[in-house]
Amino acid sequence: MARIFEQASVTISASSARSIHEGFLKPRLPQAVSRLKLPYQKENGTPGSIFLEKQRQYNPEQEPISLRAWTLQEHMLSPRILDYSTEQLWWLCSDAVLYDNGKGIPIKADLGDTRSLKTNWGSLEGWRIAVRDYTKRFLTFPGDKLPAISGIAAQYGRTFGGAYLAGLWEWNLPSELLWSTTRSDISRPARQRAPSWSWASVDGEINHNWCDINGGGITIIECRISPVSPHFPYGSVDPLLCSLKVRGDTKRFFWSEDKRFLCEAGETGSDYVGRTQGDADEFLPRCDDALDFGKRKHYSVWALIITYNPTRGLILTQIGEDTFRRAGVFFRLWDHGLIGFQERTITLL
């Protein structure tokens, strides 16, 4: 499908249709816009009027088609699009956006949304904007998480170079590992489709707010990715054959039940030592009763530092002697929480 869109002369997008069973050739009802009526005198002296109104904005995220994960590739890879939206008929290409009975809107490379990304395929920030847009969308089949963005990934891969690791880029892996979800109550799919350290392992919107870092606190020893098909390195992977082996500083903590704070045992109860974000609403091992503080329950987790200055890293749950799964990120660790870390080689599944 990616090749079809890339090589099309023009793609007709039925943006206003909610499904394949709904048509899109129908009268459009543009929203009323505020107009300013001004008197105007024609050259022959007869009175007239002119109207001023705000230029219309192209907002594809408001259209039903933008709820569907597969259609992001359609809009990003097509060189030209005739877009039948709910309120307007739009024309899109790499130079401008035009609407019927209106003037063109030049495209800038710094708009910060997916309509401008085709002008800046080499930007890591562009890739991250696309991923955030993509993860807001819905999939009929959860197993399509990586295939439905594979065409976009392949396009960026031609510029970036290096291996593509189930949604992350090898050349920037320590930073890439610090993706985070926007909410802790999203879910993981019933059937695992990606390693826990990949954003493709969760259902829901993710961001890269904590990824713009310099320097690293871990050493990547080995990363194994096993595509389902060797002919499609940007497609589905076998999560049972994927692993990431690293060496870095680790420490055991207690994690508050709301997944907002890392905690340590203090003289009067639990002391908060860091701010966190959980990946999903999922079962996690709880602390022994003797380690619970009052009526508040805590999870038993480990922290792996990815970068210092600022100190940020991953929250992990232990599944073997040196084997862990990712459960979240910590993006702030206060000084007293830094005491007691020890260097260790571990494997993340």
Phi, psi at 35, each rounded to 5°: -120, 150
* 210 shares its domain with 342: yes
Same-domain status, 333 and 239: yes
Question: Distance (Å, rounded) from C-alpha 256 to C-alpha 192?
Answer: 25
Assess if residue 118 is contained within a domain. Answer: yes
What is the Cα–Cα distance from 151 to 160, expressed in whole angstroms?
14
Q: Is residue 173 part of a domain?
A: no
**284 vs 188, more confident:** 188
Considering the domain architecture, whether residues 133 and 223 belong to the same structural domain is answered as no
Q: Tell me, yes or no, whether 41 lies in a domain.
A: no
* Dihedral, CA of residue 58, residue 59, residue 62 and residue 66, to nearest 10: 100
Query: How many alpha carbons lie under 13 Å from residue 101 in its C-beta half-sphere?
Result: 4
Give a yes or no: residue 224 inside a domain. yes
Q: For residue 18, what pLDDT band results from cuts at 50, 70 and 90?
A: confident
Span of 52-61, 71-80, 136-145, 210-219 with lowest mean pLDDT: 52-61
pLDDT at 295: 54
Quote the CA–CA distance of 284 and 316 in Å, as a whole number. Answer: 10
* 170 or 27: which leads in pLDDT: 170
DSSP per-residue string spanning 21-79: TS---S---PPP--EEEEEEE-TTS-EEEEEEEPPP---GGGSGGGGBTTHHHHHHH-S
Residue 266 belongs to a domain:
yes
Question: In the predicted model, is pLDDT for residue 61 greater than 60?
Answer: yes
231-267 pLDDT tens trace: 999 999 999 999 999 999 999 999 988 899 999 876 5
* Helix runs in the chain, H state only: 2-7, 71-77, 124-135, 150-160, 173-176
148/158 Cα distance (integer angstroms): 18
Residue 144 lies in a domain: yes
Tokens read off for 113: 């949304």
Residue 110 has pLDDT above 60, yes or no: no
Average pLDDT value over all residues in the chain = 87
Alpha carbon separation from 73 to 197, 247, 345 (Å, rounded): 24, 36, 39
Look at residue 44 and tell me if it is in a domain: no
pLDDT at 203: 95
The count of domains in the chain is 2
Residue with tokens 């130079």: 95
62 CB-near residues (< 8 Å, 6+ apart):
86
Do both 216 and 156 map to the same domain?
Answer: no
68 and 146 together in one domain:
yes
Q: Are residues 285 and 136 in the same domain?
A: no
Q: Are residues 238 and 303 in the same domain?
A: yes
First to last CA, the chain: 31
Please tell me whether residues 221 and 344 are part of one structural domain: yes
Task: Quote the pTM value.
Answer: 0.86
Query: Is 174 contained in some domain?
Result: no
Categorize the per-residue pLDDT at 12 as very low, low, confident or very high, splitting at 50, 70 and 90. Answer: very high
Question: Do 70 and 189 share a structural domain?
Answer: no
pLDDT, residue 294, reads: 52
Dihedral-angle region of residue 335 (phi above 0 means left; psi in -120 to 50 means alpha; beta otherwise): alpha
Integer CA distances (angstroms), 270 to 27, 90, 255, 262, in order: 62, 57, 10, 9
Do residue 154 and residue 265 come from a single domain? no
For residue 221, what are the domain limits? 183-349
Are residues 198 and 134 part of one domain? Answer: no
